[in-house]
Structure 1
Amino acid sequence: MKRICVIAAVAVMGLTTVACTQQEQRTAGYGVGGAALGALAGSAISGNKGHGALAGAAIGAAAGTVVGVAQTRNGVKYCNYRDRQGRMYQAPCN
């Protein structure tokens, strides 16, 4: 059963980026990564492993997608930089 779950997870990750733009692929990657981390955290925290993993995956996917979308504005990817005084600011990536 574990082998089938691993194969299914790899297939889902591969299919998330089929026929997508680079921005959509990045957003999907953040969503999948968030879901994976959320599932691990949810199953570790919860006493009920199945429900905790499911809830954690849902919350992680939503949070990861929001982070992925927030990194682009009008199709332009923004990165965090630090100036000489140590202040953080965002500007289009080089």
Structure 2
Amino acid sequence: MRQTAMILAVASALGLSACSGLNDRDQKMLSGGAIGAGVGAVGTVITGGCVTCGAVIGGAVGTGAGYIMHENEKARK
């Protein structure tokens, strides 16, 4: 399980570096999803849960949070 968490953490870091050609909304969603997947995977390793489930749920929550952040910033302008 720890090996899977490490792979997901590295994949998350690589996902963050792939944001260069995206618009602002897509950057925030991709970054949020990658960070969420990494945090979800590590969190489930610590608690002894399903790493894949944690990564999927964390990625979904992170993507949604990135979208909400973008919409909030857009509304402030």
TM, length-normalised to structure 2: 0.69
Instruction: Identify the residue that residue 70 of structure 1 maps to in structure 2.
Output: 68
Write the distance in 2 (CA, Å) between the matches of 1:11 and 1:67: 19
Q: Which has the higher contact order (CA 8 A, sep 6+)?
A: 2
Structure 2 portions without partners, runs of 5+? none
Counterparts of 1:63 and 1:23, CA distance in 2: 15
Identical residues among aligned pairs (%): 24
**In structure 2, what is the Cα distance between the partners aligned to 1:38 and 1:26?**
18
CA distance in 2 between partners of 1:72 and 1:26 (Å): 7
Counterpart CA distance in 2 for 1:92 and 1:12 is: 28
Structure in which a larger fraction of residues adopt strand = 1
Q: Structure 2 CA distance, aligned partners of 1:12 and 1:24? A: 12
| Structure with more of its chain in helix, by fraction | 2
What is the aligned length? Answer: 70
* One-letter code aligned to 1:43: V
Cα RMSD of the aligned pairs, angstroms, is 2.5
User: Does 2:7 correspond to 1:11?
Assistant: no
Q: Does 1:24 align with 2:8?
A: no
TM-score scaled by length of structure 1: 0.59
Gaps of 5+ in 1: 79-90
